[in-house]
A and B are shown apart, each in its own frame.
Chain A
Amino acid sequence: MKITNKEKMTNFCFIIPALILFLVFSLYPIVRTFELSVFQWNGVDKNMVFVGFAQYKDILFNNPSFWKSMLNAGYITLLALTIQNGLALLLALLVNQNVKGENIYRTIFFLPPVLSGVVVGLIWKFVFDGNFGILDHFLYGLGFKEFHDYAWLSEIKTAISSVAVVHMWKGFGYGFIILLAGLQTIPVELYEAARVDGANSWQQFKNVTLPLLMPIFTIVSILTILGTMQIFDLIYSMTRGGPAGHTHVPITKIYEYMNNGEFGYSTAMAVVFGVVLLVISYAQIYFSKKFK
C-alpha cells in the first residue's frame, strides 16, 4: 500500500506538537548550553565575551576541585552500584519467593524513593547530628563512648560515606521494583527443569536467574549510575558540599558557579559532565553486551 503525499502531510501534522515540545524543551536547551559554554557571561550582562574553548581548558586542566567532586560522585556511585543494587536484588529475590504480604513489602521498600530528597536529607541530617543526633545517642547507649558527640557529616572520614548511606537508603527501592518485575518474568518451568536436572538453589540462581536478569540489571545499573552521578538535593540539604568541600559533587559545583554569576563557565562544566556521563553509560552498555 502506497502512502500518498496528503497522508504523509496529515501524519506529519500529528507529530508536530511533540516535535515542537522536543525542539523547545530538549534540543534548544542542549544547543543553547553548548553555545553559552564558549562565552564568558554572568547571566545579566548584555555583552557576552567569546572565549572559545578556554573555559573547557580551564575545567580540564586547571580546576582540581571539579574533578575532586567527580571522584566524590564516583565513590557514591560505586557504593550504590554494589551495596544498593546488591541489597535491591537480595530483597527482590526474597519477596519473589511467594512470601505472605508481598505487596506490603513492595510498598514499604518503594517508600524512600518517592520521598522528597530535601526532606530525606534534613531528616537524616538530624540523625547524624553531633549535638542532638539519634545515631550518636543510640551508639552511646550501646557502649560506644567515642560516639558521644561525633559529627558524622563534619568529619572527613565519614562525611561522604554518610551521605552515600542516605542516598542508598533512598534509592534501593527503584532497583528493587525493577528487579522484582524482572524476576517475575522468568518462566517457572525453567526452574522446574533445572531442579529435575538436579540443580541446587545456587546453581538455579547462577544458571537461570542471573543470565535472564542481566538485561534488567543493565538497565538498573545505568539508572543507578546516571541518578547517583547527578545527586544534588541530598548533598545540598545535608552538607552543602562541606566540610571544606569534601562532599561536593559535580552538580553542586555547577550550582555554585552559576550562583556566583559564572553562567558560561558553569554551562561548560555541565557539558563536560554530560560527556562523562555519556562515556560511562556507553561503556556500561558495551561491557554488559560483551559479558552477555
Chain B
Amino acid sequence: MLRAVLCLFAVSALFFSSCSKEAVELDVDVMVWHWMTDRQDAFEKLAKDYFTKTGVKVIFETYAPSDVYKNKISAAATANLLPEIFNPMANKKEIASYINAGFVADITDDMNKDNWKDVFFQRALENLSFEENNEWGVKSGIYGVPIDVSSMLIYYNKDLFRQAGLDPEITPKTWGEFVAFAKKLKANDIQPFVSGFGENWIIGAFAQSYQWELFGKEGILSTIDGVIPYTDARWVKIFNLFKELKDNNLLATGVVTMINKDAERGFATGKFAMAFNGSWGVNVYNSMNPNLNYGVFYLPILPEAQHPMRFFGGEGSAFYVNSKSPNKQKAIDFLKWFTSEEQQSFLSKATSNIPANKNASSDLPPILKIFAESIANTFGQLQKIEDWQVVNVLNTSLQSVIIGEKTPQKAAKDVQDEKARQMKNKKATA
C-alpha cells in the first residue's frame, strides 16, 4: 500500500513539476516570439551583436505560420506565459483587449525619450497607437514598435508588357487604362492579373483602397456606424470593379481560392502579367526568379472619386512588450537599439524589406523606394473598426461576384444584411 502511494506521489510530482512555470524558464533576459521564418538568421545575428555590446541575452524563437503563432500568443496570454516581446497579430479591437488585460506595455514615455518616436514613419507608428476617447477605452499612447513598413501596390512584368505591345515604361493611372492594358495582355494570350484573393484579407485590401477613394475617412466611419449602408451606390461600384475584371476574363484562373504564395509563384514564373502584392514581394520574387524583369505602379484611380487613393499598409511587422515581465525595460531598451539606423539598415539589406526607421531607407533599391514613398498614403488610423463578421461577408461576397454567383447589387445587399444582424446583436448584448 505504502509503495503504491509513494509511486503515485512521485508520478504526480513529476507531472505537476513539468507544468510549472519555472520549468520552462531559460537563462534568457529577453525572449522574442515571432513568425518571420525568413528573418530568423538576421535576427539572430543582431541578438548576438547586442549580447556582445550589452551582455543582455536575447533569444528569437519562431512559430509559423502566422495563424499558428497567433493561437500560441493567445494561449500564452491566457496562461500568463507571454515572452518579453511578442505580437498578438490581431486587429485593433483585439490589441485593445490585450492592453486592457495588462499584457501590453504603454511605451509612450520611452518613445518620447531621446525622440525615439521621430525616427519612424509616422503612419507606422499611428497604427500602433491609440487616440484619446477610442471606443475600446484604451489609455491614449503608443503601444507597439514597428520594425518594418509595407504597402500593397501592383507589380507588373515588363517583358510580358513588351510581348503584348505595351510600353513597359508607361503604366496605367486610371481604372479605365488598367482594364485597357489588361485586355491587351489578354488578347495576346497572357493572363493579366493575379493576387492571393483566396485569402480574405488580400481581396479585402484591394477593395478597401477603393473604399477610401470613394468614401474617405468620414465616409468609412459613417459606414461602420451604420449611417451609410453597404447598399450605397459607391459600394455597388466597388463590387462592379470586380465584376468588370471577371466579365472581361482578366483575372487569373482560380484566383478566388489562390493563396498569395501561389500567386507570387505564378507572377515570378511569368505566368501572370500583373500582381497585387505587398512590398515583401520584392524579396520573394528575387529569390524565386532573380532574372524577373518587373516594375511596380500605384493602384489605378477612379476619376470620379472624391477622395485621394489610399493603400493597404503602414507598419509591416511590429513588436509589443509584455508589461508583466520583470525584464520589461530590458526589452524596451533592446527594441530601441534594434530600430536604430544601423540595425535597421542591416535588416533592410538582409531581408529586402522597408525599414521602419525612415533614416535607414535612403539607400533602398528603386522598387522598394516606390513602396517607401507610398507609406504616407496608406490607410489612415480609424478610431473604430468594422465587425469582423461584416468584413468576412464583404470579402466572400467579392469572391462570389468574381465566380458569378452574385450580382454586385446582391453582394451589397448581403453585406448590409449581415451589418444589420451584427448591429441587432450588439444592441441585444448592450
Contacts and interface: CB of A to CB of B under 8 A. Distances in A.
Contacts of B93: 261
Interface in B86-110: 88, 90, 93-94, 97-98, 100-103
Nearest to A43: B74
Contacts of A46: 100-102
Interface stretch (B173-181, B278-286, B289-297, B421-429): B421-429
Interface string A23-41: 0000000000000000010
25 contacts: A17-B8, A42-B97, A43-B74, A44-B77, A44-B98, A45-B97, A45-B101, A49-B429, A54-B428, A129-B262, A130-B254, A131-B191, A149-B253, A153-B254, A154-B256, A159-B257, A239-B257, A243-B256, A244-B256, A244-B397, A244-B403, A245-B396, A245-B399, A256-B392, A261-B388
Interface in A210-244: 238-240, 242-244
Contacts of B15: 20
Contacts of A17: 8, 11
Given A242-B256, A258-B71, 4 more contacts: A153-B254, A154-B253, A243-B198, A244-B400
A45 B136 CA distance: 12
Contact of A40 (B12, B101, B199, B429): B429
B137 to A, nearest CB: 12
Contacts of B97: 42, 44-45, 261
Contacts of B172: none
B408 to A, nearest CB: 14
B253 A44 contact: no
Contacts of A156: 403, 405
A243 B399 contact: yes
A20 B400 CA distance: 50
Interface of B: 1, 4-5, 8, 11-12, 15, 67, 70-71, 74, 77-78, 88, 90, 93-94, 97-98, 100-103, 191, 198-199, 252-259, 262, 266, 271, 388-389, 392, 396-397, 399-400, 403, 405, 421, 425, 428-429
A136 B115 CA distance: 59
A153 to B, nearest CB: 5
A58 B73 CA distance: 28
B403 A9 contact: no
B78 A131 contact: no
Contacts of A100: none
Contact of B67 (A132, A154, A243, A259): A259
A198 B103 CA distance: 79
B12 A244 contact: no
A62 B420 CA distance: 12
B257 A242 contact: yes
Contact of B4 (A10, A258, A261): A10
Chain B interface, DSSP helix/strand/loop, else mixed: helix
B94 A131 contact: no
Interface in A140-173: 149-151, 153-156, 159
Contacts of A256: 392
B414 to A, nearest CB: 10
B294 to A, nearest CB: 18
B70 A131 contact: no
Contact of A6 (B1, B88, B198): B1
A3 interface: no
Nearest to A263: B74
Top 10 A-B pairs, shortest CB-CB distance: A151-B254, A130-B253, A244-B399, A130-B254, A154-B254, A243-B256, A244-B400, A13-B4, A242-B257, A44-B97
Contact of A259 (B71, B259, B389): B71
A46 B12 CA distance: 30
Contacts of A150: 253
Chain A interface, DSSP helix/strand/loop, else mixed: loop
B403 A243 contact: yes
A92 B98 CA distance: 55
A261 B256 contact: no
Contacts of A9: 1
B101 A44 contact: yes
Interface residues of A, number: 43
- Most chain B CB within a 10 A radius of its CB, from A51, A153, A245: A245
A13 B255 CA distance: 60
B4 A153 contact: no
Contacts of A188: none
A131 B198 contact: no
A14 B199 CA distance: 51
Contacts of A153: 254, 257
Contacts of B396: 242, 244-245
B326 to A, nearest CB: 21
Contacts of B100: 45-46
Contact of B405 (A58, A62, A129, A244): A244
A260 interface: yes
- Most chain A CB within a 10 A radius of its CB, from B254, B399, B405: B254
Nearest to B12: A20
A46 B96 CA distance: 12
A114 interface: no
Given A130-B254, A239-B257, A260-B388, A10 B429 contact: no
A196 interface: no
A16 interface: yes
Given A44-B74, A240-B199, A245-B396, A154 B4 contact: no
A228 B5 CA distance: 44
A131 B253 contact: yes
Nearest to B73: A44
Nearest to A16: B8
Nearest to A46: B101
A34 B258 CA distance: 36
A263 B47 CA distance: 36
A239 B78 CA distance: 31
B272 to A, nearest CB: 8
B388 to A, nearest CB: 5
A131 B271 contact: yes
A151 B257 contact: yes
A9 B3 CA distance: 13
A244 B392 CA distance: 10
Contact of A243 (B12, B74, B90, B257): B257
